[in-house]
């Protein structure tokens, strides 16, 4: 199949993160094994989601990993011009959920599996297809743990997130956290006889904004925005307009510069919340509390322009510049495992997660040309 046809085929699998990705993994594994790959899977605790690691060429360490996630973000509530899971080519663009993030890269790589299987590889080429990247890079950790258990360490990883085929060597780290605001119910006509958790949540959100303002002083101009960020994105709480809320939840995130310690951000928020938010509510209800739980975390990718991954990407693309981005990827996990990583893939991050997500066909062509150079390099 052509790269375009295979990308379209992958888009037709609804692999929204809340659902299973096994149908797509089955399809990819069958294609890879038909081309001669040796495949391994690792599963989540439910058995309904899987990572796939496939290898061509010599056994053992070394070689190049082509890495991509198989899950996509939801389309709920978005106004699409066409069915997001029925890929549609209009003019010079391919539309569909995952067209750029990141089935464009995965499909293009899989379309070359037959060529890789026939190539006289001197270095291995590996495929790493993961689950649950969109909910905090949760799946790839199991894949990397499995590599560690096998004592297998590839030389580098190319993560095909959308970069317009530019070379990206650094990204911020991040986390999803939920803070539960615990108060005391009472009739709303007596607000000082209880502790309103929704009001507490509002003050906590204001505090997050204040901490973000503090972080602006520590900047790295390579990033946009150039500083670490903190913000709340979801709030749930309360039962009725005339009842002081007993509980409210604030879902928030940080995105930290990759060479900073994000635990200091969390510690600062907890410290200020204890000093500035809780005393007022505990004066009314001693049981008032703010309980924070981290639900997902991924490390940043620290710039290392001398890494094997960046050197290879620059050699094959001729790029003079290595960029940094604010969004997160699985590259930080590969780097933390000891595998140098670089990000380079088709499409623009500006189209990711939006209605009418698309990838320019010329980007898929450029990606295929780049990956063919990777294959040639692995052949020596």
Contacts of 120 (CB under 8 A, 6+ apart): 379
Q: Which is the catalytic residue, given 88, 101, 132, 133?
A: 133
Whole-angstrom CA distances from 278 to 180, 195, 289 are: 13, 10, 7
Pairing of strands 88-90, 93-95: antiparallel
Alpha carbons 359 and 187: distance in angstroms, whole number: 54
Question: Residue 231 pairs with which residues in a beta bridge?
Answer: 253
Q: Which is the catalytic residue, given 71, 161, 323, 356?
A: 71
Of residues 229, 227, 249, the one with CA closest to residue 238: 249
Quote the tokens at residue 86. 């029925």
Question: Residue 43 pairs with which residues in a beta bridge?
Answer: 50
Establish whether 71 is a catalytic residue. Answer: yes
Give CA 260 to chain center in angstroms: 19
Residue 42 backbone phi and psi in degrees, to 5 = -130, 145
Q: Is 243 helix (H, G, I), strand (E, B) or coil?
A: strand
Establish whether 88 is a catalytic residue. Answer: no
Of residues 260, 265, 254, 200, the one with CA closest to residue 231: 254
Residue 162 backbone phi and psi in degrees, to 5 = -70, 115
Alpha carbons 1 and 36: distance in angstroms, whole number: 16
CA dihedral angle for residue 68, residue 71, residue 74, residue 78, rounded to 10 degrees:
40
Whole-angstrom CA distances from 302 to 56, 203, 258, 331 are: 29, 34, 5, 10
Kindly report whether the peptide bond that precedes residue 225 is cis, defined as omega within 30 degrees of 0: yes
Catalytic residue list: 71, 133
């Amino acid at each position: 199949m052509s790269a375009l046809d295979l990308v379209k085929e992958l888009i037709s699998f609804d692999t929204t993160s809340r659902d299973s990705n096994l149908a797509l993994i089955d399809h990819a594994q069958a294609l890879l094994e038909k081309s001669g790959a040796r495949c391994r899977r690792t599963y989540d605790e439910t058995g309904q989601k899987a990572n796939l690691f496939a290898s061509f060429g010599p056994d053992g360490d070394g070689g190049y990993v082509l890495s991509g996630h198989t899950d996509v973000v939801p389309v709920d509530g978005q106004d699409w011009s066409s069915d997001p899971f029925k890929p549609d080519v209009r003019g010079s663009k391919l539309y569909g959920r995952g067209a750029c993030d990141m089935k464009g890269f995965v499909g293009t790589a899989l379309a070359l599996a037959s060529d890789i299987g026939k190539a006289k590889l001197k270095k291995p080429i590996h495929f790493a297809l993961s689950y649950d990247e969109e909910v905090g890079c949760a799946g790839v950790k199991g894949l990397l743990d499995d590599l560690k258990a096998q004592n297998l360490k590839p030389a580098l990883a190319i993560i095909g997130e959308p970069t317009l085929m530019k070379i990206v060597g650094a990204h911020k780290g991040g986390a999803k956290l939920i803070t539960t605001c615990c108060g005391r119910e009472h009739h709303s006509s007596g607000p000082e006889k209880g502790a309103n958790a929704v009001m507490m949540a509002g003050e906590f959100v204001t505090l997050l904004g204040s901490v973000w303002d503090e972080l602006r002083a520590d900047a790295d101009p390579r990033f946009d925005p150039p500083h670490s960020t903190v913000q709340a994105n979801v709030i749930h709480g309360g039962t009725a307009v005339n009842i002081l809320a007993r509980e409210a939840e604030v879902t928030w995130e940080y995105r930290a510069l990759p060479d900073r310690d994000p635990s200091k951000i969390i510690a600062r928020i907890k410290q200020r919340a204890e000093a500035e938010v809780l005393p007022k509510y505990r004066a009314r209800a001693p049981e008032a509390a703010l309980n924070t739980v981290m639900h997902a975390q991924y490390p940043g990718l620290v710039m290392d322009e001398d890494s094997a991954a960046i050197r290879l990407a620059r050699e094959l693309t001729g790029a003079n510049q290595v960029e940094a981005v604010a969004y997160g990827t699985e590259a930080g996990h590969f780097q933390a495992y000891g595998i140098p990583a670089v990000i380079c893939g088709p499409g623009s991050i500006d189209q990711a997660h939006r209605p009418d997500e698309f990838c320019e066909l010329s980007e898929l062509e450029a990606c295929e040309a780049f990956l063919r150079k990777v294959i040639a390099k692995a052949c020596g």
